[in-house]
Amino acid sequence: MQAIPIFLILSLLLSSSYAAVQDFCVGDLSGPDTPSGYTCKKKVTVSDFVYSGLGAAGNTSNIIKAAVTPAFADQFPGVNGLDISLARLDLAPSGVVPLHTHPGGSEVLIVAQGTICAGFISSANAVYFKNLNKGDIMVFPKGLLHFQINSGGSPALAFVSFSSSRPGLQITDFALFANDLPTEIINKVTFLDVAQIKKLKGVLGGTG
């Protein structure tokens, strides 16, 4: 095998110009958004594929004693269009990630530290929950209500991955009580007492 001619293989092998390929589409967050994700950044470096935002614990000095730190396409544009993303969950002792859904994807959680009671509820109203220890994983199928509670005495840490680069996060309480959805409507569609609704609206900043 002689060296010099082979040196030309790259251009020879590919008869047509082949400059454009689409192995990935790092999101250009300033560009237009589409149903399949953001338009693609033109020049990328390795930094576009690496994200350090999950390295530090979220601030759990709040009432729920918990923090969710997402690495979705909006924080980590390298996953744009790739149907995958991550998030970090920090739960101080007795911390809780309240009842929520991800409208756009399924989730798998892995416990990195501590003990977490996690569960979901199916469309048939069946309840599936269990205490998870370090190294345990649990799957939460797409769109179903689920929750995580620190069920140990020490801080807990988990990483969650999603089958979408923008899975969304809809926390039921915030959807109901942290906006201006009228109390009368909430009462009708949830059967909750008006006093309970007003109490939670007060707590979560809602009006109406």
Would you count residue 155 as binding its own copies (CB under 8 A)?
Answer: no
Rounded CA-CA distance 21/197 in Å is: 53
Candidates 93, 155, 172, 198; binder of its own copies (CB under 8 A) is 172
Give 122 or 154: the residue with its C-beta nearer to its own copies: 122
Give 6 or 154: the residue with its C-beta nearer to its own copies: 6
CA angle 196, 198, 200 (to 5 degrees): 70
Report residue 77: phi and psi, to 5°: -60, -10
Exposure string (b/e) for 106-125, b if CB count within 10 Å is 16 or more? bbebbbeebbbbbbbeeeee
Task: Decide: helix, strand or coil at residue 46.
Answer: helix
Q: Residue count at the site for its own copies (CB under 8 A)?
A: 145
| Per-residue mark of binding to its own copies, 44-73 (x: CB under 8 A) | -xxx-xxxxxxxx-xx-xxxx-xxxxxx--
Beta carbon of residue 34, minimum distance to its own copies (angstroms, whole number): 5
Q: Which of residues 106-125 bind its own copies (CB under 8 A)?
A: 106-108, 110, 112, 117, 119-125
CA angle 81, 141, 102 (to 5 degrees): 55
Would you count residue 105 as binding its own copies (CB under 8 A)?
Answer: yes
Secondary structure letter of residue 44 according to DSSP = -
Residue 100, annotated as binding a ligand:
yes
Residues contributing to the annotated binding site for Mn(2+) = 100, 102, 107, 146
